[in-house]
Amino acid sequence: MKVLLINPPSENEIIGNNPPIIEEERGYNPPLGLLYIAGYLEKFTEYSVEVLDTQVEELDYQEIEDIVREKQPDVIGITTMTFTLVDVVKTIKLIKSVNDNIKVVLGGPHVYIFPNETINLEGVDYLVLGEGEEVFKDLLDYMDDYKKLRSIKGLVFKENGKIVNTGPRQLIENLDILPFPARYLVPYKKYSSLVLRKRPITTTFTSRGCPYKCSFCARPHLGKKFRARSAKNVVDEIEECTKMGIYGFLVYDDTFTVNKDRVIEICHELIKRKLNVEWDIRARVDTVDEELLKILKMAGCRGIHYGVEAGTEKILKILNKRITISRTKEIFSLTQKSKISTLGYFMIGNPGETREDISETVKLMKDLNPDYVHITILTPFPATKIYFDGLKTGIIEKDYWRDFSQNPAPGFVPPHWGEFFTRDELVELLVFAYRNFYARPGYIMKNLVKTRSFSELKRKIKAGVKVLKL
């Protein structure tokens, strides 16, 4: 059986409520979910597997069509986010026009949130719910044997026109059993990041799930249970990557630092093996301390991205973030002392948020003085508490995301939280916040002094000019 896994184009991507200029130039990340599935199939089956990352290869629809025509796979799997749905639908149409017998299987976060809407889209044959490695293999083993498929958890399909949903599969408890993502199936040298110096980069997950319940995040709905890989398994993967010439890693765990002992073990293992890698992580200020920062630095961690979100305790409570501003200040200061670079994520336009609250957020940004800030206008994403609350109270007038999922049309404008501000007012406030942070003479000087190379200087100037042009 020939299987082709496709990361669809992002031509029609929905980019929340932010001006497109903010989302540009983030570089390309490997489609890790597909690479995990490919690695699993390569190890445990005889099926032929290929991965097509149309984004990094910058393919247009005609080129994708030519590839599908030439390869004539039996099954095509496509990774699906709500934000790429329009392009997923376009890709399916193209596949079916080449050969209607190719089975189309969708997986990814969107499918889990909107199974009925997705299976009803034209040309979709099967959905895989949640973690796809084992379920997709089972599906391939019994393709079209509906009797058997009905007993396999994690699938959605149609039998005699009726939707069959076998319910979610149990989460994979021991992540160490999973083969490493099959990075060699994509042009892995083409992936890069704005924030790491080393090229190429890759992304990695050392754990899955997140035990927290922030009200703006879909994670609590998509799978809360935190499971972690062993330190040895994590560093084995990193070592495998260094053999491919990859030395830069974006550790994309939802919260890498949930278990301090495990992080320390990973750091010790990295130091012991002298792999000379550079990496950054995403963390919460309540899961980091001075001891951890020291060892992170020694093991090559260059940057920490913290979710700061807002400048008042009132808004943090509404977001159910469960952190305090004083803790945030303390941890930023300690991280800076440890010479690890910092990026703060902030949001404006949150429920209950007034102009005064936003001023406090901007003030906090300047007080913390991270190396980078990433500010967005809150978009109530599907399957988040904020979205459900908005629908209940009428602040969000109708179920926009469900309508979009039934009929994914280009140009869809996602809802914003319209309690106190119009969308245009929020864009204005966003521009104000960015300028206020980046256009400070102190910030510019600090960054010029810290710049280590000409290419980094060029990158920073480009980013600065973009902010001023907003």
> Out of 53, 125, 131, 254, which residue is the one contacting ligand SF4 (CB under 6 A)?
254
307 pairs with which residues across the strands?
345
> Out of 7, 55, 80, 255, which residue is the one contacting ligand SF4 (CB under 6 A)?
255
- Cα(109)–Cα(131) distance, integer angstroms: 9
Closer CB to ligand SF4, 214 or 246, in the complex = 214
Spatial CB neighbours of 225, under 8 Å, sequence gap ≥ 6: 171, 209, 211
Select the residue whose beta carbon is closest to ligand B12 and give its number: 107
Q: How would you class 273 by CB atoms within 10 Å of its CB: exposed for 0-12, middle for 13-18, buried for 19 or more? A: middle
Q: Does 10 bind ligand B12 (CB under 6 A)?
A: yes
Helix, strand, coil % in the chain, rounded to nearest 5: 45, 15, 40
Closer CB to ligand B12, 219 or 284, in the complex = 219
Please tell me whether residue 267 adopts helix, strand or coil conformation: helix
Q: Which amino acid makes up residue 50?
A: E
CB atoms within 10 A of CB 23: 13
Residue pointed to by tokens 């406030």: 429
Binders of ligand SF4 in range 185-224 (CB under 6 A): 210, 212-214, 217, 219-220
Count CA atoms closer than 13 A to 425's CA, side-chain side.
Answer: 11
> Out of 1, 2, 11, 16, which residue is the one contacting ligand B12 (CB under 6 A)?
16
Binders of ligand B12 in range 178-207 (CB under 6 A): 203, 205
Q: How would you class 128 by CB atoms within 10 Å of its CB: exposed for 0-12, middle for 13-18, buried for 19 or more? A: buried
Please tell me whether residue 155 adopts helix, strand or coil conformation: strand
Q: Does 249 bind ligand B12 (CB under 6 A)?
A: no
CB of 29 to ligand SF4, least distance (A): 17
Q: Does 225 bind ligand B12 (CB under 6 A)?
A: no
Please tell me whether residue 204 adopts helix, strand or coil conformation: strand
Closer CB to ligand B12, 139 or 429, in the complex = 139
Binders of ligand SF4 in range 256-285 (CB under 6 A): 284
Q: Does 26 bind ligand B12 (CB under 6 A)?
A: yes
Q: Which stretch binds ligand B12 (CB under 6 A): 26-34, 185-193, 321-329, 434-442?
A: 26-34
> Out of 3, 8, 9, 37, which residue is the one contacting ligand B12 (CB under 6 A)?
37
- Cα(54)–Cα(66) distance, integer angstroms: 12
Binders of ligand B12 in range 76-105 (CB under 6 A): 77-79, 81-84, 105
Q: Of how many residues is the chain composed?
A: 470
CB under 5 to 8 A by kind: which of ligand SF4, ligand B12, none does 405 bind? Answer: none
Which residues of this chain interact with ligand B12, rule CB under 6 A?
Answer: 10, 13, 15-16, 23, 26, 29, 31-34, 36-37, 77-79, 81-84, 105, 107-110, 113, 128, 131-133, 136, 203, 205, 217-219, 252, 254, 381-382
